[in-house]
């Protein structure tokens, strides 16, 4: 699958909106990475709909996080929307829940680091 079919443009004003149609995994990581590079070079913020995808393995997770890092280095904002439960959990555990556009707002309560 080519990068152009892996990331399908779905329109948007002031930002590039794309939909990922393949899983984030070893098999598709090169195409996804190239698709993200191309989209980021277009010069807009990027909203990535991953409702038709999921993170399958470590390489896929690294591809997802790497896309965000690449966008930040280019001065672009990259957010994901439509994440499944597993991908949301992975991002939360990695401290990257902020990458999800539709993530729940923080409650303002802090967890104590001391066991009671």
| pLDDT of residue 13 exceeding 70 | no
* The model's pTM: 0.75
| pLDDT tens-digit readout, 55-93 | 999 999 999 999 999 999 999 999 999 999 999 999 999
> Tokens at residue 93, please?
């555990």
Question: What tokens appear for 87 in the block?
Answer: 């991908």
Residue 12 pLDDT level (bands cut at 50, 70, 90):
low
Residue of 7 and 48 predicted with greater confidence: 48
* CA gap 75, 86 in Å, rounded: 28
Res 107: pLDDT: 47
Report whether 46 contacts 15 (CB < 8 A).
yes
Exposed/middle/buried for residue 16 (C-beta within 10 Å: 0-12, 13-18, 19+): buried
Tokens of 58: 């470590």
Which pLDDT value is given to residue 74?
Answer: 94
7-9, strands of its sheet edge to edge: 7-9, 15-20, 45-49, 78-81
Give the SS3 label for residue 8.
strand
């Amino acid at each position: 699958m080519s990068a152009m079919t892996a990331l399908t443009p779905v329109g948007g004003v002031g930002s590039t909106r794309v939909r990922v149609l393949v899983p984030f995994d070893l098999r598709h990581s090169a195409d996804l990475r190239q698709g993200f590079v191309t989209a980021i070079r277009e010069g807009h913020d990027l909203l990535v709909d991953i409702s038709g995808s999921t993170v399958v393995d470590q390489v896929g997770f690294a591809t997802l996080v790497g896309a965000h890092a690449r966008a930040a280095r280019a001065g672009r904002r990259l957010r994901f929307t439509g994440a499944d439960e597993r991908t949301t959990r992975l991002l939360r555990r990695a401290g990257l829940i902020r990458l999800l556009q539709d993530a729940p707002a923080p409650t303002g309560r802090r967890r104590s680091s001391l066991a009671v």
